[in-house]
């Protein structure tokens, strides 16, 4: 081994130990502002879900004659999976009720995050599983102190009350 390899850099007087050394004079960085989510109440979440379910049902049955059965079902699935990516973390139902979906650090979610969050609802076309998925999601949400459902845990998101909006509960 040459002296340059042992020392780490050419011209270095101290042998390299394999660990990066910090500068002694640099002050530690201040921690970033922490986001403390205020969860939306279950009434607002439930009513927003019902509004979105109404849109889903309208897309399935209302658009069937115009688009065909398969196309209307596909369009309805796209809405139910990507709905929270609309309007910066708000589906149509959430927008009406003044709640939004954000990451646990406060950032708005994207369409990809919405798809992770709503992956459980892919089982909607299997009507026997629809009720089971809704009940499981509701029970998980009611048991969690931050009111996060299973999809929120998967996507690391939470539903919060939008600032300046009245709370129903």
35 in a domain, yes or no? Answer: no
Whether 169 maps to a domain, the answer reads no
Pick the closest to residue 101 from 31, 52, 64 (CA basis).
Answer: 52
Q: Is residue 166 domain-resident?
A: no
94 falls within a domain? yes
Q: What is the mean pLDDT of residues 111-115?
A: 90
Residue 127 in domain: yes
Q: How far is CA 140 from the centre of its chain?
A: 16
C-beta separation of 100 from 89 below 8 A? yes
Q: Please tell me the predicted confidence (pLDDT) of residue 50.
A: 92
Residue of higher predicted confidence among 120 and 1? 120
- pLDDT of 54: 93
Three-state DSSP state, 153? helix
Which tokens belong to 10?
């050419």
Which two three-digit tokens encode residue 137?
């999601």
**Cβ neighbours around 90 below 10 Å, total:** 23
Residue 45, CB-side half-sphere exposure with 13 Å CA sphere: 19
Is 133 a member of any domain? yes
Count of structural domains, the chain: 1
Please check whether residue 1 lies inside any domain of the structure: no
Range of the structural domain that residue 71 is part of: 42-160
Residue 154 lies in a domain: yes
The listed range with the strongest mean pLDDT (33-42, 63-72, 105-114, 155-164) is 105-114
| CB count in 10 Å sphere of residue 25 | 5
What dihedral do alpha carbons 37, 137, 43, 124 form, nearest 10°? 120
Q: Where are the alpha helices (DSSP H) in the chain?
A: 3-7, 42-57, 64-67, 69-82, 92-97, 111-117, 127-143, 150-155
State the pLDDT at residue 48: 93
């Amino acid at each position: 081994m040459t002296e340059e390899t042992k020392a780490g850099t050419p011209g270095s007087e101290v042998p390299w130990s394999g660990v990066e050394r910090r500068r002694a004079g640099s002050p530690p960085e201040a921690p970033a502002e922490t986001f403390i989510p205020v969860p939306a109440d279950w009434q607002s979440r439930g009513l927003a879900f019902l509004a979105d379910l109404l849109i889903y049902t309208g897309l399935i049955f209302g658009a069937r004659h115009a688009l065909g059965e398969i196309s209307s079902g596909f369009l309805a699935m796209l809405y139910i999976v990507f709905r929270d990516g609309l309007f910066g973390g708000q589906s149509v139902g959430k927008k009406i009720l003044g709640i939004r979906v954000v990451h646990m650090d406060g950032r708005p979610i994207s369409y990809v995050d919405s798809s992770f969050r709503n992956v459980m609802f892919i089982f909607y076309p299997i009507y026997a599983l629809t009720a089971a998925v809704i009940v499981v999601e509701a029970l998980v949400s009611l048991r969690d102190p931050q009111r996060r459902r299973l999809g929120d845990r998967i996507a690391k998101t939470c539903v919060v009350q939008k600032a300046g909006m009245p709370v129903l509960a």
